[in-house]
């Protein structure tokens, strides 16, 4: 069966309203893309961080009446649609096509993120097997890449690592594969907890090495290394709690921060940490440092 695809050129502030309207009129999937057609793989929970020039793709069953669809959307929105284009697409194995476009990626010297269906390019390297997904981290986003590269450069042997906002668990699992003794993951989304647990199992991580908690269940204590790849606002608001989780002399890496937000985040942690120079990738930054003893 063919499919009908609706592509809309939108502004970020239109995203939530249009997404809700498209789902209400029967879209079977909604995807946000930038001008270069790169999908957003890991928006933070309850947020939609978008590029300034964003395309919204909605997929409908092919027998949908195009005229009625557009009219219904206009009625729901109470306004004309943004610039848009409709096209019919032949049926295909969408999952297979998407899988074919996701390839192993190296971060730093030792670490590879490898789709679970793909052979590892360097079998003797540190290979983290992962099934990519829309909601949680895959390593494709610059913020995740910055954290993975930082972890690869650390000496983690025998340490405990806390992944604050763990998503897919990619950072905690990477730390364990890179030599950490134990990891803790916490996230406000129960689906993130489940995804982290599944990915740990896929990578042969024993249950007693990776503890997962919702924030209200997280036990007291401090870790040798803390990573938090969330967003700038929560990183500033939660700075006292995050700082307290790092042992004196321990290390911290923060990401999910746009370049123009770096000064505010650094200021929230500067008194407690000796901060490294800010690292930047594609407009996103990582802030790291060592807690004063």
Binding residue per annotation — 144?
Answer: yes
Binding residue per annotation — 249?
Answer: no
Which of 53-67, 115-129, 146-160 has maximum average pLDDT?
146-160
Please give the distance of CA 10 from its chain centroid, rounded to a whole number: 22
Q: What is the mean pLDDT of residues 88-110?
A: 71
What local confidence, expressed as pLDDT, does residue 46 receive?
A: 44
pLDDT at 38 over 80: no
**CA gap 235, 264 in Å, rounded:** 10
Binding residue per annotation — 187?
Answer: yes
pLDDT at 155 over 60: yes
Q: Which residue has the higher pLDDT, 43 or 71?
A: 71
**CA gap 196, 210 in Å, rounded:** 9
pLDDT at 289 over 80: yes
pLDDT tens digits, one per residue of 69-89? 999 888 888 888 888 889 887
Among the listed residues 277, 212, 223, the one whose alpha carbon sits nearest the alpha carbon of residue 251: 223
What's the per-residue H, E or C state across the chain? CCEEEEEEEECHHHHHHHHHHHHHCCCCEEEEEECCCCECCCCCCCCCCCCCCEEEEEEEECCCCHHHHHHHHHHHHCCCCCCEEEEEECCCCHHHHHHHCCCCEEECCCEEEEECCCCCCCCCCEEEEECCCCCCCCCCCHHHHHHHHHHHCCCCCCCEEEEECCCCCHHHHHHHHCCCCEEEEECCCHHHHHHHHHHHHHCCCCHHHEEEECHHHCCCCCEEEEEEECCHHHHHHCHHHHHHCEEEEEEEEEEEEEHHHHHHHHHHHCCCEEECCCEEECCEEEEEEEECC
| Residue 132's pLDDT band (cuts 50, 70, 90) | low
- Residues in contact with 23: Cβ distance below 8 Å, sequence separation at least 6, in sequence order: 30
What local confidence, expressed as pLDDT, does residue 53 receive?
A: 64
What local confidence, expressed as pLDDT, does residue 96 receive?
A: 55
pLDDT at 51 over 80: no
Check: pTM over 0.85? Answer yes or no: no
Average pLDDT, the chain: 85
What local confidence, expressed as pLDDT, does residue 43 receive?
A: 45
Binding residue per annotation — 229?
Answer: yes
pLDDT tens digits, one per residue of 163-200? 999 988 999 999 999 999 999 999 988 878 888 998 99
Q: What is the mean pLDDT of residues 60-75?
A: 88
pLDDT tens digits, one per residue of 104-131? 889 999 999 888 778 889 999 999 988 6
What local confidence, expressed as pLDDT, does residue 135 receive?
A: 40
- What's the residue count for the chain? 293
């Amino acid at each position: 069966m063919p499919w009908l695809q609706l592509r809309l050129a939108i502004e970020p502030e239109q995203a939530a309203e249009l997404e809700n309207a498209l789902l209400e009129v029967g879209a079977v999937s909604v995807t946000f893309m930038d001008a270069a057609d790169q999908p957003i793989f890991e928006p933070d929970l309850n947020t939609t961080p978008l590029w300034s020039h964003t395309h919204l793709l909605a997929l409908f069953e092919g027998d949908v009446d195009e005229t009625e669809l557009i009219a219904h959307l206009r009625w729901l929105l109470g306004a004309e649609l943004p610039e848009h284009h409709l096209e019919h697409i032949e049926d295909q194995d969408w999952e297979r096509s998407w899988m074919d476009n996701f390839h192993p990626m190296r971060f730093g010297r030792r670490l590879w993120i490898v789709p679970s269906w793909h052979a590892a390019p360097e079998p003797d390297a540190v290979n983290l097997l992962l099934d990519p997904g829309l909601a949680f981290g895959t390593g494709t986003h610059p913020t995740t890449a910055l954290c993975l590269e930082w972890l690869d450069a650390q000496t983690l042997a025998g340490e405990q690592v806390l992944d604050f906002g763990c998503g897919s668990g990619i950072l905690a699992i990477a730390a364990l594969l890179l030599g950490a003794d134990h990891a803790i993951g916490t996230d406000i989304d129960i689906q993130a907890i489940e995804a982290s647990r599944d990915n740990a199992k896929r990578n042969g991580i024993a249950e007693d090495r990776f503890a997962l908690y919702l924030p209200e269940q997280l036990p007291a204590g401090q870790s040798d290394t803390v990573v938090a790849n969330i967003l700038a606002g929560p990183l500033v608001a939660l700075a006292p709690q995050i700082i307290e989780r790092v042992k004196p002399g321990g290390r911290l890496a923060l990401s999910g921060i746009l370049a123009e937000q770096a000064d505010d985040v650094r200021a929230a942690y500067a008194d407690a940490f000796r901060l490294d120079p800010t690292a930047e990738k594609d407009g996103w930054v990582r802030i790291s440092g060592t807690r004063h003893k």
